[in-house]
């Protein structure tokens, strides 16, 4: 049995998760993203959880230390309290608590808060994923996987059956054929496969704040989709008047300028789907973020055509998020609206006014469980 403190620990974790859920909106709109660490956990910074007490305010109190320095010299505040002094005197400041959560935990917090339904995957389970488990015994293998007990048993059996076993001097000498090794069984599992294709307008009118919104929103969307599909591929497209496929870093950092031809992105998106993702096997999620400014009505018409004929039929759902910017007209959203109507099942439109609206927009996108 585990030490009872493990129960205290899981109580504490529960409280932490509750706090994160309560302040999820703040996190999301501050753009404070959990930092991904190795092994699939995320570090979430949050204010220290503490029992309130009557205690002194720290600023007025000041303190004392040892060392060099004239009046007015700074006392560096970065360092944390000394080792060895577990109660650390009065020096405990507003330390931040770093909480580690797994992807599933974080996603379930998001899911609970936004009341997101689980996604009903379409298509058959086609993606093969293999797992190796060392759950059987073989006659060959490397020394490092030698199974001593089984090898001993084999040697014993052989010696007993050949009559070389001496019960007064029970020394067992294994020969080559006695050795047994742990061996792996490979199991193949079929998974639902999914791909997310992000498209972002990086024309001159998309400022840093707009990109920050896209970044935050796509982080949380990824998180949710990752929790729903075991293996997920993510592709990034940026466009102004022309479109190109880029990697994640460039996607969020580039600042281009110039005009906007949304159709260029949609064309590229169509190409990617046609080349790499068979819609019958893949769950495809194209997301497009823009400030809603398109070069011409002709181009918009072309966009609608591509969407209707190619992209939407092959996608689970097409999501368009319009980030409000000072320069954008926001016309494209209206055009999509007239093109597809409000009630359309295959297309989700969302208007993101500012950072505070990110969470609502995520809910709009993912709330349908598609």
Partner 1 sequence: MNRTKPIQGELFDLKNVIESHAINYGLDFYPVVFEECDYDTVNILAAQGGFPSRYPHWKFGLDYDQLSKGYAYGVQKIYEMVINTDPCYAYLLKANNLVDQKTVMAHVYGHADFFKNNYWFSGTNRKMMDVMANNGTKIRRYMNKFGQDKVESFIDKVLSLENLLDHNLLFEKRKKAIKIEEEEEFDEFEGQSEALKSFFRTKKRYENEKGEQGSGSSKSENSEVETLRDSSLPSKDILGFLMEKAPLKDWESDIIGMLREEAYYFLPQRMTKIINEGWASYWHSTIMTNNALNPSEIIDFADHHAGVMAMSRQQINPYKIGIELFRDIEYRWDTGKFGKEYNDCQDMNKKLNWNTNTKLGRKKIFEIRKTHNDITFVDEFLTEEFCQRQNIFTYKFNPRTNRHEVDSREFKEIKSKLLNQLTNSGSPVIEAIDSNFSNRGELLLKHIHYGVDLDYGQACETLKNISSLWKRPCVIDSIVEGAPSRILFDGKEVKTQKI
Binding site for partner 1 (CB under 8 A): 1, 3-5, 7-15, 49, 51-77, 79-91, 97-98
Tell me the β-bridge partners of 289.
200, 321
Q: Is 38 exposed, middle or buried (0-12, 13-18, 19+ CB in 10 A)?
A: exposed
Structure tokens, 97 = 């608590």
CA atoms of 150 and 62, how far apart (whole Å): 68
How large is the angle between the packed helices 358-366 and 208-228, nearest 10 degrees?
40
Q: How far is the CB of 21 from partner 1 (least distance, A)?
A: 16
Closer Cβ to partner 1, 67 or 163, answer by number: 67
φ, ψ of residue 55 to 5 degrees: the values are -150, 170
CA atoms of 216 and 238, how far apart (whole Å): 16
Number of residues that this document lists for the chain: 370
Q: How far is the CB of 49 from partner 1 (least distance, A)?
A: 7
Q: How far is the CB of 94 from partner 1 (least distance, A)?
A: 10
Neighbours of 51 (CB within 10 A): 4
Closer Cβ to partner 1, 18 or 313, answer by number: 18
Q: How far is the CB of 226 from partner 1 (least distance, A)?
A: 25
Q: Where are the beta strands (DSSP E) in 192-297?
A: 193-201, 231-239, 243-246, 282-290
Q: Output the DSSP codes for 306-334.
A: HIIIIIHHHSS-EEEEEE--SS---HHHH
Q: How far is the CB of 113 from partner 1 (least distance, A)?
A: 20
Closer Cβ to partner 1, 63 or 341, answer by number: 63
Tell me the β-bridge partners of 186.
132
Closer Cβ to partner 1, 88 or 175, answer by number: 88
Closer Cβ to partner 1, 73 or 249, answer by number: 73
Q: How far is the CB of 56 from partner 1 (least distance, A)?
A: 5
Q: How far is the CB of 48 from partner 1 (least distance, A)?
A: 9
Contact between 172 and 155 under an 8 Å Cβ cutoff? The reply is yes
Contact between 273 and 314 under an 8 Å Cβ cutoff? The reply is yes
């Amino acid at each position: 049995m585990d030490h009872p403190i493990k129960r205290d620990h899981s109580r504490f974790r529960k409280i932490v998760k509750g706090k994160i859920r309560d302040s999820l909106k703040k996190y999301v709109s501050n753009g404070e993203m959990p930092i991904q660490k190795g092994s699939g956990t995320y570090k979430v910074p949050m204010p220290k959880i503490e029992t309130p007490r009557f205690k002194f305010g720290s600023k007025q109190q000041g303190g004392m230390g040892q060392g060099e320095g004239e009046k007015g010299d700074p006392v560096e505040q970065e360092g944390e309290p000394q080792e060895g002094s577990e109660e650390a005197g009065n020096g405990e400041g507003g330390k931040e608590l770093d909480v580690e959560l797994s992807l599933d935990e974080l996603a379930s917090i998001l899911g609970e808060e936004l009341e997101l339904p689980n996604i009903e995957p379409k298509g058959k389970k086609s993606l093969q994923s293999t797992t190796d488990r060392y759950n059987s015994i073989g006659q060959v293998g490397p020394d490092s996987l030698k199974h001593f007990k089984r090898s001993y048993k084999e040697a014993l059996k052989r010696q007993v059956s050949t009559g070389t076993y001496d019960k007064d001097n029970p020394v067992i000498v294994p020969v080559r054929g006695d050795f047994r090794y742990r061996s792996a069984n490979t199991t193949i599992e079929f998974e639902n496969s999914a791909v997310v294709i992000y498209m972002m307008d990086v024309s001159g009118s998309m400022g840093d704040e707009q990109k920050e919104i896209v970044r935050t929103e796509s982080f949380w969307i990824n998180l949710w989709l990752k929790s729903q599909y075991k293996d997920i591929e993510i592709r990034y497209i940026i466009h102004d008047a022309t479109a190109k496929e880029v990697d994640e870093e460039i996607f969020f950092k580039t600042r281009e300028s110039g005009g906007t031809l949304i159709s260029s992105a949609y064309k590229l998106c169509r190409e990617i789907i046609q080349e790499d993702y068979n819609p019958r096997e893949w769950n495809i999620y194209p997301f497009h973020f823009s400030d809603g400014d398109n070069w011409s009505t002709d181009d918009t018409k072309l966009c609608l055509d591509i969407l209707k004929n190619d992209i939407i039929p092959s996608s689970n759902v097409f999501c368009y998020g319009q980030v409000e910017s000072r320069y954008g007209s926001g016309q494209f959203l209206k055009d999509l609206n007239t093109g597809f109507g409000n009630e359309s099942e295959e297309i989700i439109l969302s208007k993101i006014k500012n950072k505070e609206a990110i969470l609502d927009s995520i809910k709009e996108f993912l709330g349908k469980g598609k």
